[in-house]
Amino acid sequence: MLDGYIGGHPWFVILLLGTGIFFTLYLKFPQFRYFRHAVDVVKGKYDHHLDVGDTSHFQALATALSGTVGTGNIAGVALAIHLGGPAALFWMMVTAAIGMCTKFVEVTISHKYRDVLPDGSVSGGPMYYMKKRLNIKLKSGKILKTGVFLGAFFAAATVLSSFGTGSLPQINSISNSIFATFGLNHIITGAILAVLLALIIIGGIKRIAKVTELLTPGMAIFYFIGALLVIGTNYHNILPSLGALVSTVFTGTAATGGFLGATVAFAINRGVNRGLFSNESGQGSAPIAHSAARAPEPVSEGMVAILEPFIDTIIICFLTGLVVLSSGVWTEKITNQFQSADMTFLNQRYEENIPDQKQMVIDFVKHGKAIPLFNGQLDIVDGKMTNDITLVTSRSIAEDFTFYNGKTPFTGKIDVSAGKWKPQSASINVSGKSLIHSAPLTTEAFSRSILGKWGRYIVSIGILLFAFSTAISWSYYGDRAVTFLAGPKYVIYYRILYVIAFFIASFTDTTIIWSLSYITIAFMTVPNLIGLWILRKEIKSTIAQYWVDFSKKHPDDRMSKRYLKKGKL
């Protein structure tokens, strides 16, 4: 319900895309004009040994990318397609192209107002520009500390989001994938990785940067090669998949196979939401990592940030999406264990081969129209439900399902209220055929290729590397927020709590965790986007000054000549 009113509501999409489109036009498409220059900056072409900061441009990019290249690239893309069909992937790409500009802007202004702490380390992020630049001066001369309040709200939201985005869904996807592939217990996976996480984050940003600059490129190349092998195997479905992607952008996706369809609005909403979760443009997280970079002024680090959504979403997410679409598994019902939060019991039996009955379920799933829900008790005998009703799970009608108590078929009664079951024991679960989503969908897609069962290992290892690196980076975002709110001495307590929550989430329901992540994203994004809009003129003048200074330092540089020649300065 909270997600529906906040991150899942159309106003959030309008605010996010609207801000990105505004700055794209206001700054004349900087994400495209400055792209080659951004590559030169990352390569260290303009570095100087006296630059102040804790990390290099590449390390800052790697740290920020490790924070964005996570479950959103594997599980999140599959979830977007599961919810909105092929069109959702298109809107993820649109979000990324616009997000390249948003990321450039937010990193630039955040880097400009970073703090150098007494111990020589750097702390930065949107909370600092909010605190220093968003206070309101009244005519009487009195200053309302609105910026301090906004900065504190953003920092508090960052701490929450470090759990909702960086810790909880990451380890949850890892443990689910490892369990599905190798059969390793969720708790064991969580315990091992929690210990490794603690050992890394205790060393702070310098140790984190050293780990991510090696981990990020390696894991991206590993996953890239695997995805190309899958797409190559299903080459005959590439053009039809791209055709479906384009043709459903403004029409929505009709029911096909087990997939019951999606509206245009829903596809846009989920595509944009998943795109933001993946590349975090506008959320204000990446500026925290970039603020630690050694740079003489802020715009050069903003240039580096342009590359993040491009690598994260336009390359890696698109590859995942093409894998899922070309394999065809997104419309197939696969045997799996149902997620409790996904399950709804309807008050009568609906048959998919009877058009009128199927349409009623489609209207319920696709348009949210009311349908009679079951209230009462389920009678289960040897794992089979004797009630003549329908179970909808993962936006599909479940088939051939069995109730288990642990690994034994269950016999007994289960209370149901308004379509939702209330099992007396957490060990009771349901397995059967339905659509699947998130990491299991991507895993199944990878296995439909020349890789066979080895495809599962690629996804499991990919999720392990992607998600774990995200958890590492988000721990830094959270500890910088704690530093802003309470001071450096409280960071150690945050890190301990972060590791504990990381462990607990390894065996917690997936759907609830994803919903929490949607909400915390919105709490960070809204004040950050408002702050960027308020400071739009300063951002523009800061960028203009960068090119003036750049032309003086590098009069023979290609970019300098171009801007001087065209009178851009």
Examine the domain organization and report whether 296 and 383 are in the same domain.
no
- Looking up tokens 């990390």 gives 55
Residue 53 has a pLDDT of 60
Q: Is residue 482 part of a domain?
A: yes
Q: Is residue 123 part of a domain?
A: yes
229 CA to centre of own chain: 25
Of 125, 109, 102, nearest in space to 17 by CA: 102
Instruction: Render pLDDT for 318-363 as a digit per residue (tens, 0 to 9).
Output: 999 999 999 999 999 999 999 888 899 999 999 988 989 999 999 9
Assess contact for 323 and 442: CB atoms under 8 A: yes
Q: Is the predicted pLDDT of residue 48 greater than 80, yes or no?
A: no
Examine the domain organization and report whether 340 and 430 are in the same domain.
yes
- Lowest mean pLDDT across 203-207, 499-503, 515-519: 515-519
Burial of 33 (0-12, 13-18, 19+ CB in 10 A): middle
For 258, which DSSP code? Answer: T
Measured in Å, how far apart are the chain's first and last C-alpha atoms? 49
Quote the percentage of the chain above a pLDDT of 90.
46
Examine the domain organization and report whether 482 and 504 are in the same domain.
yes
CA distance 565 to 320: 42
Q: Is residue 29 part of a domain?
A: yes
Residue 277 has a pLDDT of 67
CA distance 110 to 528: 10
Average pLDDT rounded to a whole number, residues 95-99: 91
How long, in residues, is the chain?
A: 569
Q: Is residue 65 part of a domain?
A: yes
Average pLDDT rounded to a whole number, residues 282-305: 88
The first and second tokens of residue 10, run together, are 């159309």
Dihedral sign of CA atoms 31, 33, 35, 38 in order: negative
Instruction: Render pLDDT for 400-456 as a digit per residue (tens, 0 to 9).
Output: 999 999 889 999 999 999 999 998 887 899 999 999 988 789 989 999 989 888 888
Domain boundary among 434, 453, 488: 434
- Tell me the C-alpha to C-alpha distance, in Å, between residue 354 and each of 334, 358, 432: 22, 6, 21
Of 290, 303, 309, nearest in space to 64 by CA: 290
Of 2, 57, 34, nearest in space to 297 by CA: 57
Q: Is residue 525 part of a domain?
A: yes
Average pLDDT rounded to a whole number, residues 54-80: 79
Specify the pairing of strand 399-405 against strand 428-434: antiparallel
CA distance 345 to 307: 46
Examine the domain organization and report whether 111 and 194 are in the same domain.
yes
Residue 3: Cβ within 10 Å count: 18
CA distance 227 to 220: 11
CA distance 101 to 104: 5
Residue 9 has a pLDDT of 67
CA distance 361 to 61: 46
The boundaries of the domain holding residue 175 are 2-230+237-251+259-322+445-534
CA distance 246 to 11: 25
Examine the domain organization and report whether 295 and 365 are in the same domain.
no
Examine the domain organization and report whether 31 and 162 are in the same domain.
yes
Residue 166's domain is classified under what CATH number? Answer: 1.20.1740
Examine the domain organization and report whether 52 and 77 are in the same domain.
yes
Of 513, 566, 567, nearest in space to 71 by CA: 513
Residue 19 has a pLDDT of 94
Examine the domain organization and report whether 368 and 305 are in the same domain.
no
Residue 394 has a pLDDT of 92
Count of structural domains, the chain: 2
Examine the domain organization and report whether 160 and 208 are in the same domain.
yes
Q: Is the predicted pLDDT of residue 102 greater than 80, yes or no?
A: yes
The first and second tokens of residue 28, run together, are 């004349």
pTM exceeds 0.95: no
Q: Is the predicted pLDDT of residue 135 greater than 90, yes or no?
A: no
Residue 336 sits at φ, ψ, to 5 deg, of -160, 170
Q: Give 23's pLDDT tier (boundaries 50, 70, 90).
A: very high
Residue 201: Cβ within 10 Å count: 26
Q: Is residue 541 part of a domain?
A: no
Q: Is the predicted pLDDT of residue 222 greater than 80, yes or no?
A: yes
The first and second tokens of residue 220, run together, are 């991206």
- Of all residues in the chain, what percent are helix, strand and coil, respectively (each to 5)? 65, 10, 25
CA distance 463 to 168: 14
Q: Where do the DSSP E strands lie in 61-127?
A: 115-116, 122-123
- Lowest mean pLDDT across 38-42, 55-59, 148-152: 55-59
CA distance 131 to 123: 13
Q: Is the predicted pLDDT of residue 510 greater than 60, yes or no?
A: no
More confident call, 3 vs 149: 149
Q: Is residue 199 part of a domain?
A: yes
The first and second tokens of residue 464, run together, are 């392990």
- How big is the chain by its Cα radius of gyration, in Å? 24
Examine the domain organization and report whether 177 and 211 are in the same domain.
yes
Average pLDDT rounded to a whole number, residues 280-291: 88
Q: Give 131's pLDDT tier (boundaries 50, 70, 90).
A: very high
Of 85, 162, 176, 67, nearest in space to 511 by CA: 176
Examine the domain organization and report whether 220 and 112 are in the same domain.
yes
Quote the percentage of the chain above a pLDDT of 70.
94
Q: Is the predicted pLDDT of residue 564 greater than 70, yes or no?
A: no
Q: Which helix (H) or strand (E) holds 335?
A: strand 334-337
Examine the domain organization and report whether 114 and 158 are in the same domain.
yes
Of 144, 145, 107, 114, nearest in space to 129 by CA: 114
- Looking up tokens 């919105």 gives 522
More confident call, 326 vs 519: 326
More confident call, 69 vs 105: 105
Residue 569 has a pLDDT of 45
Residue 546: Cβ within 10 Å count: 17
Assess contact for 533 and 19: CB atoms under 8 A: yes
Mean pLDDT of the chain: 87
Q: Is residue 328 part of a domain?
A: no
Q: Is the predicted pLDDT of residue 265 greater than 90, yes or no?
A: no
Residue 536 has a pLDDT of 95
Domain boundary among 434, 456, 485: 434
The DSSP secondary structure of 151-217, one letter per residue, reads HHHHHHHHHHHIIIIIIHHHHHHHHHHHHHHH---HHHHHHHHHHHHHHHHTTHHHHHHHHHHHHHH
